[in-house]
Structure 1
Amino acid sequence: MRLNEATAVSTAKTLLVPYDRRHVLTYHAWMEDPAIQEATASERLTLEEEYENQESWRASHDKLTFIICQPLQAGKGDGMSIQAGNQDAPERMIGDVNLFLYPYEDEDDEALPSATPEFCVGEVDIMIADQQHRGKGLGRAVVQAFLQYIYRHLDEIMREYAEDKDMPTAPRLKLLMAKINQSNAKSVALFRSLGFEQEGDANYFGEVKLVLQHLEDFAAEVPEEYGEPVYSRDQNQDEQ
């Protein structure tokens, strides 16, 4: 999405920045790990394909992506801006968090296929690639910050999604969901701790679907030191 191309999200426990070309080398190195490929159900890509993927995600109006970084250090930020290449340098990158939007498919809905969808659903996905940061509660802090951003910018997210698909009116968000392998007990517990509830049994692929029906209920819990500083790039830096 273009919505967050100049915005970061900062809390006491994490820093989220838009996914830029400067992040691709590190991201590609993460995705070379077979364990991460399996955990994320991803295929191995060449570096060139990874750059193309980054550009596609930035341009796509149904994908919202942030790179997870270590939180701001004392004295390293003015609270109003994040300088690209500094606080999100490769050694400070940890993983990524994403929102994917889909049309809402109701089995009981007999509306014509050409009708404008009234709802869409969002799938939340998180990857902590750096092993030294796993098991420390970072995932929960990241998802909490991400959902707070989604809540605050939901109308803008829906408008960008609708404009791309030539919808006369923006759909409403029906629910948020996370699809997690049932063997990944820590991830399942993470989303449940944030109010997501399991819907049905595991599917053919061994995934469970966890659903959050009311984003507004969750959003009342603002993460500590939550802010949305400007993500600032030098004029000669690539803004893709």
Structure 2
Amino acid sequence: MKINEHTILEGPRVLLVPYNEEHVPRYHEWMKSPELQQLTASEPLSLQQEYDMQKSWREDDDKCTFIILDKQRWADPGVEEEQCMVGDVNIFLTDPLDPSLAELEVMIAEPSYRGRGIGKEVTRMMMGYGVTKLGVGRFQAKIGLDNQVSISMFKKLRFQEVSVCNVFKEVTLELTVDESVRTKLLDEAANVTERDYRETRSSRHQLVLH
């Protein structure tokens, strides 16, 4: 999806940036992990397939993807952006007949960043973006039954369990964006700054750390 190709979202601890070609090698290394393959229900890809996937995520109208960066590390111009990568977050518009339905996925790929509330911060940021920029009215998350950490996180964000598929060993959780949810997301969005990715990259050492 091209809507976010020049967008950077700045939260308290993380930055969300477009998924670019330069991110692919690190992403490819992550996805060699059997643990991440299992958690994301993914098959291992070749590096070329990963580049093709990155291009499709950028071009396809039903996918919106951001790479998660460690904000503090990124503010140091001596650190390559690829070395600041923490994970990724995606919105998939899965139903052509209902463009307001969005499947949400978040992956904290770097183990040292797990259990620190990063996933919750990123998910809230992405939900705010989905509501304000993409017109999302209902969020859905499909999570492996053995991924209790993610299930617990989404339930804390008021997602409700709607079904369990024993064949695929996953649970589906949903959250309808009613007025109270929308108000809360907009309130939280006040802590998120949207910048131009092209301009910010050239002067990232000037980024104000909260």
Shift in CA distance, 186/55, structure 1 to aligned 2, threshold 3 Å: same
Q: 1:200-239 maps to which residues of 2 (within 5 A)? A: 200-214=163-177, 216-222=182-188, 225-232=191-198
Matched residues in 2 for 1:88 and 1:8: separation? 16
Is 1:95 matched with 2:87? yes
8 Å contact from structure 2 (residues 93, 99) kept in 1: no
- d(CA) in 2 for partners of 1:42, 1:2: 24
> Structure 1 pair 89/119, CA: closer, same or farther in 2 (3 Å)?
closer
Q: What residue in structure 1 maps to residue 206 of structure 2?
A: none
Report SS of the residue matched to 1:65.
strand
Paired AA for residue 141 in structure 1 = E
State the distance in 1 between where 2:59 and 2:99 align. Answer: 22
Give the Å deviation of 1:224.
6.7
SS in 2 for 1:232: helix
Where do 1:1-240 residues align within 5 Å? 1-72=1-72, 76=75, 89-103=81-95, 117=97, 119-155=99-135, 173-214=136-177, 216-222=182-188, 225-232=191-198
Give the SS at the match of 2:161: strand
- Is the CA contact 1:11–1:224 (under 8 Å) kept in the aligned structure 2? no
TM-score norm. by structure 1 comes to: 0.75
Distance 2:78 2:143 in 1: 33
Q: 1:148 to 1:72 in 2, by over 3 A?
A: farther
Pair 1:20–1:217, CA change in 2 (3 A): same
String of CA shifts for 1:57-106, please: whole Å, max 9, x gaps: 100000000000102469x39xxxxxxx87771221000000011227xx
Q: Could you list the runs of 5+ residues in structure 2 that have no partner in the other structure?
A: 202-210
How far off its partner does 1:225 sit?
3.4
Aligned to 2:205: none
How far apart are the structure 2 equivalents of 1:9 and 1:103? 26
State how far apart, in whole Å, the 2-side matches of 1:225 and 1:86 are. 27
Preserved contact between residue 10 and residue 72 of structure 1 (Cα < 8 Å): no
3-state DSSP of counterpart to 1:204: coil
Distance verdict in 2 for CA 1:72–1:224, change over 3 Å: farther
Shift, 1:121, TM fit: 1.7
Structure 1 residues 199, 148: closer, same or farther in 2, change over 3 A? Answer: same
**Is contact 1:15–1:70 with CA below 8 Å preserved after alignment?**
yes
Distance 1:87 1:221 in 2: 32
After TM superposition, give the deviation of residue 28 of structure 1 in Å.
0.4
Spell out structure 1 runs of 4+ moving beyond 4 A.
85-88
Deviation at 1:231, TM superposition (A): 0.4
AA in 2 matched with 1:90: E
Aligned residue pair count: 198
SS of residue paired to 2:2: coil
Q: CA RMSD in A?
A: 2.5
Which structure has greater helix proportion? 2
| Identity score, percent | 35
How far 1:118 moved relative to its partner?
5.3
Judge conservation of contact 1:12–1:224 (CA < 8 Å) in 2: no
